[in-house]
Amino acid sequence: MATQIVILNGDSIKIDDSFHINWADKGNAIPALPSTLHALIWNNLTGQNEIQSKDASTGSMTGNTDLSSTDDAVGSTTVAALLTWGSTRKDEIVQAQADEAAAKTTAENTWLESNSDLMEFVWDKTWIDYDPNYS
């Protein structure tokens, strides 16, 4: 399980203060987040772990809720569930990136074995093509 997560709703997710996930890459298994969530901060950096809330219709900030435990609720889920999801999603992305890199290497080698010029090789896939959990 991850130990840190920062979610900027609709923008990005950072896992363990080092792995960045663009919002579009969050996958299809992220726990439901309330529309009033602006940000969730659970980390060991200076400052309070908290939920930053907004008015869903205007986007205006409405206040913060301090978090003190991974059992604390974030809408219908918990910080712990989001940490577990974050760790899983990170592993899924890393595996998809490795699978894409391996497939590209295999394709390049096949291309070269057919006496083709590597300068003419075209690879039009990304790790997303190898991620069954991409949304």
What secondary structure, in 3-state letters, does the chain show?
CCCCEEEECCCEEEECCCEEEEHHHCCCCCCCCCCCEEEEEECCCCCCCEEEEECCCCCCEEEEEECCCCCCEECCEEHHHHHHHHHHHHHHHHHHHHHHHHHHHHHHHHHHHCCCCHHHCCCCCCHHHHCCCCC
* This prediction's pTM: 0.92
Per the structure, how many domains does the chain have?
A: 1
Report if residue 85 sits inside a domain: yes
Report if residue 66 sits inside a domain: yes
Of the pLDDT bands very low, low, confident and very high (cuts 50, 70, 90), residue 116 is confident
Tokens of 52: 């930053």
pLDDT at residue 94, as a whole number = 98
Buried b (16+ CB within 10 A) or exposed e, 32-42: ebeeebbbbbb
Report if residue 67 sits inside a domain: yes
Report if residue 79 sits inside a domain: yes
pLDDT digits (tens, 9 = 90+) for 101-111: 999 999 999 99
Domain residues for the domain of 61 are: 5-130
Report if residue 98 sits inside a domain: yes
Report if residue 48 sits inside a domain: yes
Report if residue 135 sits inside a domain: no
